Structure 1
Amino acid sequence: MLRGMGVVGVRVRVGYALGSVATGSFGRVPGLLLLPYLTDTLGIAAVVAGAIVLLPKALDVVLNPVAGRISDRHQSPRGPRRPFLLRGGLSLAACFALLFAVPDLGSKVFDAAWVLLAFVGCATAYAFFQVPYIAMPAEITDDYTERTRMMSWRVAVLTIAILISGGSAPAIRDAIGGRDGYRAMGLTVALLLAIGTFGAYYGTRSAPTGAVRETTGTLREQLRVVAQAANFRWLLITLVLQALAIGSMLAGIDYLARYVLRNPGAATIAFVCVVGPALLVSPLWLAIGNKFGKKTGFLLASAVLGLGAIAVIPAQHVPTWCVYLATAIVGVGFTGVQVFPLAMLPDVAAVDAARSGVRRAGVFTGIWTAGETLGLALGPGLYALVLAAGGYVSSTNRDAIQPGSALTAIVIGMSVVPALLIAVSFFALKRYRLTAEEVLEAR
């Protein structure tokens, strides 16, 4: 059992939340700009570009549970998780700077290979940062409400980080232009990754870590136990489907701005519309969760997210402000689907630890982050397939003329497809059964 740990101090909340500067920046910028970088700057075909975006993240399906298992077994005066934050985060920053720094040697094969290898490095480093980071709340506090409060702080910082990184990244790219614009953007985001790493590492140095509890059994045995946890399984399926939907929507923003709205600068505005509402509605989602329960809040947030995706469908035929409004609705739902699952995962892990007497938070988190990462990676890959089906023309000229079918595909990929995925996720989330009373009994 964990020691009795309830409300944590503001310093720990802020310190933990600062890690979202790293997770938010890496979790969103590649999804927003890597596919356009490949198709419209390096001139790589959409199908090949989609594979390059997908394959490194698919590696995390295997790697993340391993990272979780390693951090579960690690013992250190600094806590079982914190040492991995520093190593993984700084490695991620270095690899990210290289990701968008492809030398111009005139070879598409070389360009593709460089991006693939650098993205593999990013995915590997991120696994060893993200998995221990997300596992920490289950060990910092055993209070059901405090975990939601911690997640609301985290989402607030996450929102600011995404606004800064996702909003400035296209602006930096466009201000400088070409490959140099992407290089400058890569270095800027790498600096944000380093800031988030140091913030989380030093900010949580006084956080409780719970009683040291040895893990038992092999990784395969623990994965089997986790797979048999019904509440975790349904929560994970919901997460993957929604990450796939969000990944597809984010991948489409740059294409929508340039080819449908015919204003490259609209990418930054649309991205801010998606992320910006979180600064206003995070407290609202927190209040809804506290009053009606996390599951009810999650269902409501999912419904709003799906409604926003549907509202994007007529983007080719309505004024630009209507498209911005639709993306803002997406943003309101997006905030909720960030808050609630991150607050529900520690509950599942803590109940399992209380009932089994074994620390498996890292394994739970490893599988969780693998699912989220895979979904966010599959999203752009799925979007690339929709573009290819619509006859999208890849070119080193970012002003290439696109056929009408490609314009339709650009909209469908970030509206109809995500809406269908979110609708399916409802069926999985409805089967989640863990209650607040069960979590309190496990304390």
Structure 2
Amino acid sequence: MSNDAPDAAAPETNAPARAPRLPPPVITRYAIGSIGTGGFATLPGLVLTYYLTDSLGVAALVAGIVITAAKIWDVIIDPIVGALSDRDRSRHGTRRRLMLIGACTIWVFFALTFATPPALGPVFGAIWVLVAFLLTATSFSLFQVPYIALPAELTPGYDERTRLLTWRVVVLTLAILLFGAGGPALRRLTSDPVTGYLLMGVVAGIVLAGGMLVATTVAKLAASRSLSERSESKWDTNGVSSRGSAARSTGAGLSIRAHYAEGIGTLRRSAPFRTLLSAYLLQALATGLMLAGAQYVATWVLHSEAAVELLFAALIAPAFLAAPGWGAIAGRLGKERTFAFASVVFAVAALSLFGLQFAPGAWAYAPVAVAGIAYAGMQSLPMAMLPDVISHDERTNGPGRAGTFSGVWTAGETIGMALGATALSIILAITGYVSSTNDMTVTQPDAAVSGIVVSFSIAPAVLIVLSLIALGRYRLRRGDIDAGADPARPSPNATGSHRR
């Protein structure tokens, strides 16, 4: 070989290796899993508090405690499920086993959540819902945690991850519309609310399970691709020995307690993960608060229970159309800047909804639609940034922790969504909201109606602003990720350079 060959090739060594494009069937099957994740995140958040307070007669504060307790359980088990997922992958070459268990059991527990016998009364009715929802949340965690870990293993490319997660959010928005509008519509198909809630629970549970089962088919592909890429990587160039990284990737000899401790360690070790999770948790709290309040806005502000379906249509139809657009903008501006821009738009739209306090009416659907456009970006972009965070950590500390990261991430998201419902229940209790059963007619005090409006407007807007403060500390950029995809090129952040 000529001595001139290396010089001739030198200009190309500074260009990041471009990740191969994912086949459309892989993207499609992965995205379909969001029918399950989006449905579970939407329907309980939308109707469960209302089901407890206005169907079972449970006091608002107690209803908040029931839902929060179930979410606390999520927070406890998500890091453990993440560790088990990493262990499964190292032993069996795939994360699919836990995903299958979750997908095959969730429909039964979801249906039972809305099958509470009215004769039990408020106390035992609350206990029934708590136990059934705990089991449902467990099944969901078994699927969701390894599902979130897959993008980091399906592709190493910065832009390919955006593409993958953009189409996931397209399906996610359809799932939110399907469950957010279709769930309450199913509930009203029968004249008996008890039967209506049961019908909704059974049908929704089956659809959840179907979407999840489709997504399990990409788990083995993700494992095989990731292992192939790692066998070609030069981990020693980043100060991590091949033997050490291999030991960590298998997790051999580590207890669940040790894995759980490692989950906490990801927060201490990875500054990008801390900042991204902080921003996402605050936004989950904001959207969870609005989601839990939508049914109350429809009933007590717009004076139509059917209005909740129109609110969801106004939110999701624009989001469905906007998701690919946010992906295109991120390709030019970067994910983090585009994420911040989408968040600002959402905050302004939410704040404008405070006008419902003075002039309730159909005009509210317009700012809800603007919020829907922003919501598409607020979902797809942080999901696309998480695999970047995982890859950045792998280059420094070795592979094998994707499940641990996704477990902590899911726990953080769960905390946010749970606190949203809890915050609403506290606001309702403070403002004097009157709970009722199906056969009761009540009138809400003006203070309770004002509290519902605030929970749907000012409170979420403030939370989004706080999330932007957290996001301002995020430092990973496109060059950090694409440089890391080529082991021959050092990441800018590996040498302490942070590009703004």
Aligned to 1:243: 284
**Aligned match for 1:117, one of 108, 121, 131:** 131
Post-superposition Cα deviations, 1:15-45, rounded to whole Å, max 9, x if no partner, equal: 1001101001001100000000000000000
Aligned to 1:430: 472
What is the one-letter code of the residue matched to 1:161?
A: A
User: Contact 1:243/1:376 (CA < 8 Å) preserved in 2?
Assistant: yes
Aligned to 1:11: 25
- Secondary structure of the equivalent of 2:57? coil
Q: CA deviation at 1:203?
A: 5.1
The change in CA–CA distance for 1:159 and 1:224 in structure 2 (over 3 A counts) is closer
Give TM-score scaled by structure 2 length.
Answer: 0.85
Q: CA deviation at 1:438?
A: 1.0
What is the one-letter code of the residue matched to 2:147?
A: Y
Q: CA deviation at 1:168?
A: 0.5
Matched, 1:354 2:395: yes
CA distance in 2, matches of 1:287, 1:185: 37
Matched, 1:94 2:127: no
Matched, 1:43 2:57: yes
CA distance in 1, matches of 2:350, 2:62: 26
> In terms of mean alpha carbon deviation, does 137-146 or 168-177 score higher?
168-177
User: Contact 1:15/1:199 (CA < 8 Å) preserved in 2?
Assistant: yes
Aligned to 1:195: 210
Structure 1 portions without partners, runs of 5+: none
- Secondary structure of the equivalent of 2:188? helix
Post-superposition Cα deviations, 1:258-293, rounded to whole Å, max 9, x if no partner, equal: 111111111100012122212211121111111000
Aligned to 1:330: 371
Q: CA deviation at 1:342?
A: 0.2
**Aligned match for 1:307, one of 345, 348, 361:** 348
User: Contact 1:15/1:204 (CA < 8 Å) preserved in 2?
Assistant: no
- Secondary structure of the equivalent of 2:448? helix
What is the one-letter code of the residue matched to 1:368?
A: W
Matched, 1:401 2:415: no
What is the one-letter code of the residue matched to 1:198?
A: L
CA distance in 2, matches of 1:267, 1:163: 11
CA distance in 1, matches of 2:275, 2:101: 32
User: Contact 2:167/2:324 (CA < 8 Å) preserved in 1?
Assistant: no
CA distance in 1, matches of 2:297, 2:306: 11
The change in CA–CA distance for 1:309 and 1:92 in structure 2 (over 3 A counts) is same
Structure 2 portions without partners, runs of 5+: 1-16, 231-248, 486-500
Post-superposition Cα deviations, 1:155-190, rounded to whole Å, max 9, x if no partner, equal: 011111111111111111123241111101001110
CA distance in 2, matches of 1:305, 1:247: 14
The change in CA–CA distance for 1:248 and 1:344 in structure 2 (over 3 A counts) is same
Aligned to 2:155: 141
Matched, 1:180 2:180: no
User: Contact 1:214/1:358 (CA < 8 Å) preserved in 2?
Assistant: no
User: Contact 2:166/2:327 (CA < 8 Å) preserved in 1?
Assistant: yes
Matched, 1:26 2:37: no
CA distance in 2, matches of 1:189, 1:376: 20
What is the one-letter code of the residue matched to 2:484?
A: A
User: Contact 2:103/2:210 (CA < 8 Å) preserved in 1?
Assistant: no
> In terms of mean alpha carbon deviation, does 142-151 or 54-63 score higher?
54-63
CA distance in 2, matches of 1:173, 1:414: 23
Aligned to 1:214: 250
Aligned to 2:453: 411
User: Contact 1:310/1:415 (CA < 8 Å) preserved in 2?
Assistant: yes
Give TM-score scaled by structure 1 length.
Answer: 0.96
CA distance in 2, matches of 1:78, 1:214: 10
What is the one-letter code of the residue matched to 2:110?
A: F
CA distance in 2, matches of 1:109, 1:37: 14
CA distance in 1, matches of 2:380, 2:147: 15
The sequence identity of aligned pairs, in percent, is 41
CA distance in 1, matches of 2:60, 2:225: 45
The change in CA–CA distance for 1:230 and 1:411 in structure 2 (over 3 A counts) is same
Aligned to 1:160: 174
- Secondary structure of the equivalent of 1:393? coil
CA distance in 1, matches of 2:218, 2:404: 24
Supply the RMSD in Å over aligned alpha carbons: 1.8
CA distance in 1, matches of 2:219, 2:402: 18
- Secondary structure of the equivalent of 2:20? coil
CA distance in 2, matches of 1:106, 1:201: 38
What is the one-letter code of the residue matched to 2:20?
A: G
Q: CA deviation at 1:74?
A: 1.1
Aligned to 1:261: 302
The structure whose Rg is larger is 2
User: Contact 2:173/2:316 (CA < 8 Å) preserved in 1?
Assistant: yes
What is the one-letter code of the residue matched to 1:186?
A: G
